[in-house]
Every structure is written in C-alpha cells, then in structure tokens.
Structure 1
Amino acid sequence: MNAESQLFNQRFEQYGLWRAGFAQALDVFSAWLDSKGLRNAATMERLARLHEQAANDRITVAFVAEYSRGKSEMINALFFSSYGRRIMPARAGRTTMCPTELIWEPEFPPGVRLLPIETRKLGASLADWKLKPAAWHAVALDARSGDSVAQALQRVTETIQVDQAEAARLGFWRDDAGAENPPLNAAGQMEVPRWRHAIINFPHPLLKKGLVILDTPGLNAIGAEPELTISLLPQAQAVLFILAADTGVTRSDRHIWQEHLARHVDTQGLRLVVLNKIDTLWDGLTSKEEQAAQLRSQRQSVARMLSVPLNHVLAVSAQKALVAKIHKDETLLKASAIRQLETVLIDTLLGQRHLILQRALMRGLGEIRTEASQVLNVRLRDLTEQIQELGSLKGKNNSARRSIRMRIARERKEFDGCVSKILGLRAAQNKLLNEAFQLLSGKTIKQELAALMQALQGKFLSVGFQKRFLQTFSRLQEVLETAQDVADQMHRVLAESYHSLNMEYGFALQPPGAVDLRQFAPDLDRIAQSNRHYFSMTNALRLSSAEFSERLVNAIAMRLRAVFEAACNELDLWSKASTAQLDVQLKERRLSFISRSETIERIEQADLDLSDRLQQLQRELAELQEVASALNARSEQLEVALQAAMRGVDVHLGQVPVSQ
C-alpha cells in the first residue's frame, strides 16, 4: 500500500513505531557512551531530553465547531470506526457539552475525569486544576468494550439548569450577547454544561502513540473558557473547523472563526475548514455533476468568507464515512470524501511534525557527538603526550627519569593551583545564572499580570487599556532582553576564563558559542498580538466579570510561563554543556598526572619495563582511536536512520488537491 492510500491510523502507527525505535536506539547509544566513559552531566541531560522528545512526542488534533455540525461524528469516522459503533456521543440532542480531551496517560486508569462547572467561579486555570485530581469526578470504563466506552463518554453530554445570574457567573450569559445567550425556560432558567472540562483516558492504539484529540463544543463554551483559545487551540498541531454543508457559514460560525481562530497569529500548525454533511445534497434529484458543481461553489464561498486558501477547505460526509467503514462499503466511502481529509492529515500534519521532530533530534544528536568527541580528544592528547614523554627516556639513565618524575610533580602542583580559579569561575557563573533565572521566574510574570488584573477588577475598561495591555508585554520583552545581557556576560566570563586556563594550566577548553534567548521574543509578541482584542472596548462588559477576567489573565500567564520556562531550560542546558568540558578535562588531567607519576616510579624501581609500557600505551592509543571511529559510526547510523525516515514524505499543503 503506497503512502497516499494509507489511512491516517496506519501512518500514525508507523510514526509512533519510528519514534519508539529511535528511543530504543538512543538507549543503546547511551549505554555504549557510558561503557566508554563518555557520558558527563550535560550529555546525560541531553540524552534524557532526546529520549523524552522521541518517546513522548504528542500531536494534538483539535475539532472546533458550533453545535450540530457533526464534529463528534467526524472524530468517530476518522479514529474510532474499528469499534464498529459510535464512541463519541453524536446522536441528535446528545452532543458533547464541554471541552473534551481524549488522551492516554498511563499513570491514570482508563476512565473519564470530569471537572465540575462550578470551578469556573474559583479563577484557577485548567492547568492548575489538572494538578488536583481530587477535584475531578472519575468514571471508570472498560477499554475492551465499545459499549462501556460509549456509555462512559455519554457523561460529557450532561447539563444542569441555572438561573440567569448563575449563568453569568459561570460565563454563559452576557447582557451584550443578545440572541447568542442560551434560551430561558418558563421558570427563568437555562441549560448549561454540567462539566467544565473532560479528560477521557483511553488506551486506544493511536492515543498510546501520542495522539491527543481535543473536542470543543459551541460558541458559548469556547468564549467562556479563555484557556481554550489562548493556550490549547493555538498550540494544537492541527485544528479542523467544522461547518455544515446544509447551513454554510452561519453568523455564529463566523464569530467563532474570527474571534477564536483567525486572530491567533501564533498558530503554526495545520488549519483546515471542513464542510461536513455533504450527504444532505444527495437528494436523488440532481446529478453527480450538479452536486460536484454545488460543492465547488460552496467551497469557494467559504474560502472567500473566511479568507482562507481554497485548498484549505474540504467537503466530506462524516456520518456516511463512519457507516461505510463499519460496513466496508468502498463505494460509499469514496462518496464520503473522507479519504481526502485523511490524506491531508497524513501528508501535511504528520509530515510536518515528523520533520520538526527529526530536526530537533538531529540537532541534539550532533551536540552529544561533539561533547563525546571533546572527551576523546582530551584523552588522545594526554595519551600521545605520555607516549612521547616515555619515548624520550629510551637509553637514558635513572637521573633523567628522576628529572621527569620531578617535572611531573611540579606540573601537578602548578595544575592544582587552578582549583581556586575554577571555584571562582563557578561562583561567578552560578551568581549570573541565578540572576537570569530570577528575571525569568514565575514571580516576574505574576507581578506584571497582577497590575493588569488590578486594573480590570471593579471597573470598565478605559479607552487606553489595550495600550496598557501591550505595555505589559513590552516590559516582559525588556525582561527577556535583560536576561540576554546576563547570558552574554556569562559567555564573556567563560570565554576569558577558558583562555586563561588554557594558557596557564595547559587545558584545551573550547570557548562555547553564545546562547540565544532572543529567539523567544517572537513568542511573546505573538501571544500579545493574538490576545490584544480581549482588552478592547468591545469586550468591556465581559471583562467587568471578575471571574472571567481572572480566567483570562490566568490563561495568558500560563502561556507566558511556558515561554520563560523554555528560555530558562535553554540557558540551563547551555550552562551545563559549557562547563561540562571543564569538569571532564580537570578529571582527565588529574588521572593523567597519576598515571604518568606511577609509570615513572615503577620504571625507576625496575618494576616495569619501559618498552612494555610503551607498547601498552600504543595499544591504548589504538583502542581510543577505535572508540573515536565507533563514535562517529554510531552517530552517523542514528543520523541516517532519522534522515531515511523522512524520504518520500510530502509536507507541503500546496500538494493537496483543490477539487472534490
């Protein structure tokens, strides 16, 4: 079966196997490095990070739509047809009511975890609540039974009745929303979701390989949960915006797109518009050609209205696709056009993600190879010098040998004098590192956003408040720039110290390249530009709600913490890698002094033959050279495996057909 015709499920399985295979190969490589004494603290951390990336890489596919667009049925058709029945609730009147994540976390048993809707009034973010398992209502399921899974998932459809005031506190009623608010019944109450968020922990093969499915319900639920649009959706590798062919782009559809999807300039993954329910056009009174023409016209209209490329708009029938897959009806499956959507997900989503991960793994592997080579080069240099030193003793008397032994002792004493200098360097580096960490800490973010929150509480927005919001991000950019200045100072101190140690004590330290924290500045700018509309006058009434404004600021804080934590991790790893070679060379030089001293003493005492020792050192040199060759060969094998895995994978959305 060629790549174009394989199912998304099959290709994702292959992607998972590739990641698992590389993680296993990396473990073998790590054990080999350890057996040769080539692992230091920085190398071990790099290996651990690479293993984590390869073994636990996740791909999130988010489904966004207004109610009754067939979103849950789309999930069933794409991922769960093998169960021979619906898994996600998709019957009329029984739809997903709260944002739902389908994931596999082996530390939890299979089941559904439900966060009560009342937690919205407490201000904490979803990320915070995920750290409090006791706050969630747990429902067990039997993963071997499709009926058990489907029954447990029905819990996400549950609703409760609340009055208008409570609905406003929960974020489901806004005085300025008009007809978009839920309808009131005769008792003055309205129906709202019982749960704020659901996590379905399910050992499905795709989920176990790293797929995460995010199912988001209609406009009210999306708008009331800032964390969805500020964090979860922008960071999804693929977002499928579902429309209905029989309704086209409605007012609420357009609102979701403009307010919660199109505004997010920080999205870098695949974004598709899927026109669902094309089977509503199969009325038996129009020819297939007329139906195709109508679909083309609808796709063109949707592309114009949403300002997206035409080849980003696909038309399918999820319901017919599910039926066709269950009954193995190839004719119906082809008519459903689901295969084209699967092809896009395969070639674009998986291809892009594969390429991103491959590059990250290649970069990390190269750094590990460089660090291990530095260790070997130090050993080869010391061993070569020792061979030359002993070779100069051939034909010499005991006086010459004593002279060399005394010279070694003198060199060792002088070398020991570098310890105080190294301790001073470490103290200076740790001081600067802690200074940078303090700048990039959560405390800095908390202080900046606390002022923002204080301006929101108890008052309507002023005309200049959006400017105030952007000023907050300008100050955070200044914090990042200050941290870069500290990092540059660390780099200068290291470079100067390494030059001095090389000149005075015979080290062979390589000055590290500078660390780049400015690479995170565009992330801050994207977060600011994507969310500035929340702080405009048009959103004043919603922001007057303390509960909503607190959820909004908490969601932004979570994104900011992720950026600053990434910057801290980058600086921390750079610092460890930069100083690791000093630890290695310090250890290797001390071992070399001990070996040289013992060798000369034994030769003086006639306990060791000079020729025999030289032959032994030559053998050790040859073995080290073999290890160096093996390091290159093993590294190249891993690199070739990474590169070969990408051959023939098309990662360009421009290759997606534009006709149905």
Structure 2
Amino acid sequence: MSQFARQVEDYSSWRSTLAQAIARHRDWLSGEGLESPAVSAALGRMLDRLRGEKLSVAFVAEFSRGKSELINAVFFASYGRRMLPSAAGRTTMCPTELVYDPSLPACIRLLPIETRASAATTSDYRQRPDAWTSFNFRTDDADAVAAALARVAETREAPVAEARELGLAADDEPASTVEIPVWRHAIINFPHPLLEQGLVVIDTPGLNALGSEPELTLNLLPGADAVVFILAADTGVTLSEHEVWSEHLGGMASSHRVVVLNKIDAMWDALRTPAEIEAEIARQVDESARTLGLERDQVFALSAQKALLAKIDHDDELLARSGVGAFETALSERLVEQRQRIVRTQLALDLAAVDREARSLLVGRQRIVAEQLEELESLRGKNTVAVDRMLERLQNERSDFDQLVKQLVALRAVFTRLSNQVWAVLGEEAVNEAAREARDKMIQHRFSAPLRGSMHEYFDTLGERMRIAQSTLDEIQSLVNAMGKRFAVERSMTIPPAPQLKLGRYVEAIDRLRRKADAHFGALNIVTRLRANLVERFFAAMAQGVRDIFDRAGRDAEAWLDCALTPIESQVREYQRDLRRRLESIRRVHEASHELDDRVDELRGQLTFATQLTTDHDARSQELRIQIATEVQPLTATDVPRMRISGSASAMVAGAAAPVPGTAG
C-alpha cells in the first residue's frame, strides 16, 4: 500500500470513528431531552459532512507529460497493469473524473462532445442522465476495465466549421478537417478502495482544454483540494506551460499546488555517473521552481512509469530511484491534512453550537429547580396565608411572563420578515435573475471593453447582494441578542449571545472568480476568438461558479437562522413547563401541608440529577472535542498510520497483471 493510500485510509477511519461518536452523542442528548431542533440540525450537519466527505485531486499538464501514468502509479498499481490509457501522444482527451457511487454499477459515463454547442455546463448535464452514454464493465476482468477506460482517448475527424462551432478550432485554422475528442467529459464509477473512501481523481486533457472549457478553470480546478501540475524533466517549463501556470494556477494557495518534474528516467544515461545525473535533475528542479515562483521543496522529480513498474514487480530499489515516495508524502500532506483541518474546524463550530444550546438548557433546569426548592423550603413552618401569598405571586409571575412571551412572538414575526429579506438576495431565484440579466448584456457585446463592463456590473451586483445579506443578518443578531438580554434580566435566564455569521469568505470567493473571469477574456482572446456561443459557454461556467458560492452561503445562513432564536425559545418552553409545575406544587401544598416535605425531597433529587447531568454532558462533549481535534499523523517512508493531537488542535480542544512497457514516463 502506498503512503498516500495509507494516509487516505487513516483519514477515512478517523471520519468513520468520529461519525459513530457523534451519533452516540446525539442519542444521549435525545434520551435526556436535550435535542432541540437546532441541536438536531447541527448534529445532522456534522454527520452529513463526515459521511459525504470527498477528497479531490486534479492532475494538469500538457499532452504526453505522463498525467495518466502518474495516476496509474499512485492509485492503481495494485491492479498489476495500467488502468487509464497511457502511451505516446494524446491519451486522455476529455476531463475525466474517477469516483465511486455505490448506488451505480461499475461504469464509465461519457458526455458527447456535441453538447458543447449549447451553453449548458457539465454541471447542468449532471442533472440529465439521459444526455450521457454509459458503458458498464466487470471489475473482475482487467481487460474489460482497461477497454472501457480507454474510451476517454477516443477522437474523430470533424469538419473545421463544426470544430469552430464547438470551440475546438481557431478562426484561422487552414485545414478542412480537424481531429476532435468524441467526448466532452467522462465520469468513471469504480469500486476502488480509495475511491470508496471518498477520493475523487480528476485527469484533465492537455493545456489547450483549459482555455476551451471554462468550467475547468472557473469551477473544477479551484474546487479541488490539491492540484498536481506535471512537467517533463527533459523540457522543463515551456512557454505554454508557464502561461497556463500564471493564468490559471499561480493564484491558488501554495498549499493546494504540487509540481511534478516527470520522466527523470530519460536522464538515466549509462555514460554519466550517478552524481552527474543527480546534479542535472537537481538543476532542473531548481530552474523549474524559480520559473514558477515556488520553493524548491514544492517541485518533485520522479519517473511515473518506473514507479508503476516497480510497484507491479515489487522492486524496492527501482521504486526508491523513481522518486515517487516523496511526492506521495507531499500529496498526502496537502490533500489529507489540509482537508482534515478544514473539516475539523467546521465540526468544532457545529459542536460549539450544540454545546451552547444543550448547556443553556441544563443550566436553566438547575436554576429553575433550585428556585423551586428555595420557594418551598421558605414555606416550612409558615401558615396558610403565606402559602396563599406565594400562590398569588406565582400567578402574577405567569401573567407577566405571558406578556413577555407575546413580545417573543412579535420578535419571531420580525425575524421571519428579515429572514425572507436574506433569501431575497441569496436565494436561487435571485441569483439566477441576476445571471440572466448579465448574460443578455454580455451576449450583445463583441468587444472587450463593453463585455468586461457588463461582467463587472454583474460581479458588482453580486457583491451588493452579499452586503445586503450581511447587513440583514447583523440586524437579526442584534434583535435576538436584545431579547435574550431582556429574558436574562427579567427572568434570570442564562441565554448565550447568538454567534456571528460572517459572509466574508464568500465575498472573497466572488472576488477570486471575478479575477479569473477577467483574466480569461484577455484582449487577444476577445479580438481573435470571441463568438456568441463561446461567450455563452464561458458565462454559463462563470454563473455556475456563482451559484455554487451563493448556495454555500445560503446553507450557512439557513443553518444560522435555524439556530439563532432556538436558545431563547427552548428556555421559554422549559420555563413555561416549570412554571406550571411550581404552581401545581404550591396548590398541592395549599391543599395538604404534608405534601411540602415530599415535594422538597423530590426537588432535591431533581437538583442532584440535574447537576450530575450537566457534569456528564461536559465530559461527553469534551471527549467528542478531543476526537474532532485528533488529526491523521503525517507519514514518512517507514511510518505506520497513527493518530495524534496537534498543537493547534490542542488549542481548539481547550477552546490479473499485464507487463508494463519500458518507455520513459
């Protein structure tokens, strides 16, 4: 098992164990009457996040740089043969995703290239199963699997006019026919152990596809947890590769990018000493890092073909010489550790919301029981008149409390109105309306200035919608906190302030998409290549990215709104129940004095139980926080998988084989 595979397995085990712990915590809270709608929603989000978690890694390179071979070496060497086609010349001709969905058979689903004539994105077509051509295969037949997967390399000759219409030929193409891919996109559903654990592998075609399929650069690559950019050791960074890096990958976070200098076996010259060979490889690594503006330790020299051969033949010496081990370690660090860090942060926030709600209920229960106990103990030795006065005071208290509840009902009405204002700017219909208006304007323009002006207007509108949503959410928070303070003062309730929801990261995501869109339509592209269908295809991809951003923001807002009023409403319900109990207790004492001692003893038992329940909750919650903070330990070549708690996490807690040809690759 490769280091990367071990790391992914360890991460999957962490997620599974943690999901079981969260489910147990949910059952315990429910059994103790502490699972309010907000608590249930937060715990549901935590479980959905863990069970639906995906790790995505994308491979980007010019043709014949060895992308598919590297994927074979890292992920599929255990099959004893190449699974993805990898040979001289063009291999993967369309963006290809390797995933696993247990609800589907092992198959390859292919989207015909002709769909590029429409403005619909690949994401749109994912919702239309009838648009795809599907081929099932038997996973126990390696030849059948390889034959099915080879379809990603299929091409056909097309008239140049058709190729232009599909955005696959330049306006000045002199030939009468050109070779084009048969398929626009491929999704391979394969029950591989790593894919079953949530890994998604994205194999992109050559660099020219990045410009002709905007959805790749606007949505698919930015959404990947790690991007592997592959160069050839014998060529270094070519001009076209440097342009693609600068335009599409250079702006990504450094932790998301890994550069591979592949085919170092081409330098294994028998006429040179090992030291000379190593020096030449080191020089290429230094030069590539300098050209791309990277640190040297972000560039990995290796031979994917020799790594695959070594793994199939169990040749440890060749495997070490291939250099793939250091790359797998770095990939696991950037993919697994980084993704886990994000998931841990999200889980910790949801657990904090669960704790606030559950603990406020527990503290409220203790306070109410203590107040009842104090009331009844004060009646010992008192006459009937004192009991009558106590009964009258409680009845007045209920009357006053009913008035306060009416104000809470009024707040709920305001809350609903403001929530609707949030949906009016973040909702799907509002976002689609803005997209329709912008699309119509952009299609009308053929020159860069008006086109960019319309595009900037669109992004300005999106930014204003986010600003309005944030302002409304802040207003809701102020109103909720004001009401919480009033209940705290007038009824001594322990109500935590509503947590803030900041949409800044979505504003930043929109700004990043704006910069990518602006760069995509440089002056050269606008003047020489722009046609209406290309604008439509580009805009459709851009709008899909916008929808994804607003969808995430809307889900965050929905979760926040679901929880904002819950602490107050939960404690109000608890208070109302206990007020009825208090009245009933006093009436019983009023009717029979011997009931007093029995009721006092009963309340003392309730207070002891409530105190112990709070202690149990805190211990269980702390244990769950520790499990969330536990991270997958980085691996070295000799490590075995293990878990640890990092410094930052500790702070969070405190808060059928065929031979492989011997070509270079």
User: TM-score, structure 1 length as denominator?
Assistant: 0.92
CA contact (8 A) 1:235 1:267 kept: no
Match of 2:660 in 1: none
For residue 362 of structure 2, give the secondary structure of its aligned residue in structure 1. helix
Q: What is the distance in 1 between the residues matched to 2:554 and 2:260?
A: 39
Deviation at 1:303, TM superposition (A): 2.0
% same residue:
38
Counterpart of 2:522? Answer: 536
Structure 2 residue corresponding to 1:362, chosen from 343, 348, 354: 348
8 A contact 1:64–1:241 mirrored in 2: yes
Structure 1 counterpart of 2:525, which letter? N
Which residue in 1 is equivalent to 2:101? 105
| Cα offsets for 1:599-626 (capped at 9, x unmatched) | 2233333396322221121111111111
Match of 1:216 in 2: 204
Residues 333 and 634 of structure 2 are in contact (CA less than 8 Å); yes or no, is this contact kept in structure 1? no
Look up the SS of the partner of 1:127 in the other structure: helix
Question: Does the aligned pair in 1 maintain the 2:366–2:610 contact within 8 Å?
Answer: yes
Aligned to 1:437: 423
Q: Does 1:194 align with 2:189?
A: no
Change beyond 3 A, Cα 1:32–1:575: same
- 5 Å-filtered alignment, 1:375-414, equals 375-414=361-400
In the alignment, does 2:25 pair up with 1:33? no
How far apart are 1:93 and its partner, in Å? 5.2
SS in 2 for 1:417: helix
Contact 2:70-2:305 within 8 A present in 1 as well: yes
Shift of 1:474: 2.6
Contact 2:231 2:260 in 1 (8 A): yes
Quick one: distance in 2 between partners of 1:96 and 1:518? 38
Asked whether the equivalents of residues 261 and 300 of structure 2 are also in contact (C-alpha less than 8 Å), the reply is yes
Deviation per CA, 1:176-198, whole angstroms, max 9, x where unpaired? 6x6xxxx94xxx32221111100
1:474-523 deviations in Å (ceiling 9; x for gaps): 33222211222212221222233333444556654343244322342222
The match for 1:248 among 222, 236, 257 is 236
Going from structure 1 to structure 2, the CA distance change for 1:503 and 1:259 (only over 3 Å counts) comes to: closer
Which stretch shows the higher mean deviation, 544-553 or 375-384?
544-553
Distance in 2 of aligned mates of 1:130 and 1:269: 30
Q: Which amino acid aligns with 2:542?
A: I
Unaligned stretches of 5+ residues in structure 1: 653-660
232 and 609 in structure 1: CA distance in 2 versus 1, 3 angstrom threshold: same
Which deviations, in whole Å up to 9, do the C-alpha atoms of 1:308-330 show, x marking residues without a partner? 22222111111110110011001
5 Å-filtered alignment, 1:135-154, equals 135-154=131-150
1:249-308, Cα deviation, whole Å (9 max, x unpaired): 33433343233322xx35564212211111111231211111111111111222233232
CA contact (8 A) 1:456 1:543 kept: no
Q: How does 1:449-598 map to 2 (within 5 A)?
A: 449-457=435-443, 459-463=445-449, 465-503=451-489, 507-541=493-527, 544-598=530-584
Q: How far 1:125 sits from its partner (Å)?
A: 1.2
SS at match of 1:115: strand
Q: Is the 8 A contact 2:2 2:74 kept in 1?
A: no
Match among 280, 283, 287 for residue 301 of structure 1:
287
- Matched letter for residue 194 of structure 1: V
User: Quick check: 1:172–1:192 contact (8 Å CA) kept in 2?
Assistant: yes
Of 62, 65, 72, the match for 1:66: 62
Q: Secondary structure at the match of 1:297?
A: helix
Question: 1:655 is matched with which residue?
Answer: none
* Match in the other structure for 1:612: 598
Shift in Å, 1:112: 0.8
Alignment-derived partner of residue 157 in structure 1: 153
- Displacement of 1:214: 0.3
Equivalence for 1:656: none
- Point out where structure 2 has 5 or more consecutive residues left out of the alignment: 637-645, 648-665
Deviation at 1:432, TM superposition (A): 0.6
The answer to whether structure 1 residue 16 and structure 2 residue 4 are counterparts is no
CA contact (8 A) 2:113 2:184 kept: yes
Aligned to 1:203: 191
Contact 1:113/1:139 (8 A) holds in 2: yes
Query: Which residue in 2 is equivalent to 1:130?
Result: 126
Q: Which amino acid aligns with 1:277?
A: K
Q: What whole-Å deviation, never above 9, does each CA across 1:361-383 have from its counterpart, x for those lacking one? A: 22222221121101111111111
Contact 1:358 1:642 in 2 (8 A): yes
Separation in structure 2 between the aligned mates of residue 513 and residue 527 of structure 1, nearest angstrom: 28
Q: What is the identity, as a one-letter code, of the residue corresponding to 2:627?
A: A
| Equivalent position of 1:658 in the other structure | none
Shift of 1:143: 2.6
Distance 1:508 1:639 in 2: 23
Give the Cα separation in 1 of the matches to 2:390 and 2:66.
85
* Equivalent position SS for 2:134: strand
Structure-2 residue corresponding to 1:228:
216
> Counterparts of 2:508 and 2:200 in 1: how far apart (Å)?
26
**Counterpart Cα distance in 2 of 1:377 and 1:280:** 70
Q: Could you tell which deviates more after superposition, 241-250 or 318-327?
A: 241-250
Against the structure 1 CA distance between its residues 312 and 89, is the aligned structure 2 distance closer, same or farther, given a 3 Å change threshold?
Answer: same
2:114 to 91, 115, 118: 118
- Residue in structure 2 matching 1:638, options 598, 601, 624: 624
What is the alpha-carbon distance in structure 2 between the residues aligned to residue 483 and residue 121 of structure 1? 36
What is the aligned counterpart of 2:80 among 81, 84, 87?
A: 84
Distance 1:608 1:167 in 2: 95
User: Residue in 2 aligned with 1:42?
Assistant: 38
Say which SS state the counterpart of residue 565 (structure 2) adopts: helix
Q: Provide the alpha-carbon RMSD of the alignment.
A: 2.3
Q: Secondary structure at the match of 2:380?
A: coil
1:256-275 residue pairs with structure 2 within 5 A? 256-262=244-250, 265-267=251-253, 269-275=255-261
Q: Give the structure 2 partner of residue 657 of structure 1.
A: none
| AA of the residue aligned to 1:68 | S
Give the distance between the partners of 1:223 and 1:365, measured in 2 at CA.
Answer: 43
Tell me, in whole angstroms, the C-alpha distance in 2 between the residues paired with 1:648 and 1:334: 19
- TM-fit CA distance, 1:28: 0.4
What is the TM-score of this pair, normalised by structure 2?
Answer: 0.91
* Distance in 2, Cα, partners of 1:137 & 1:269: 37
- Conserved 8 A contact 1:156-1:198: yes
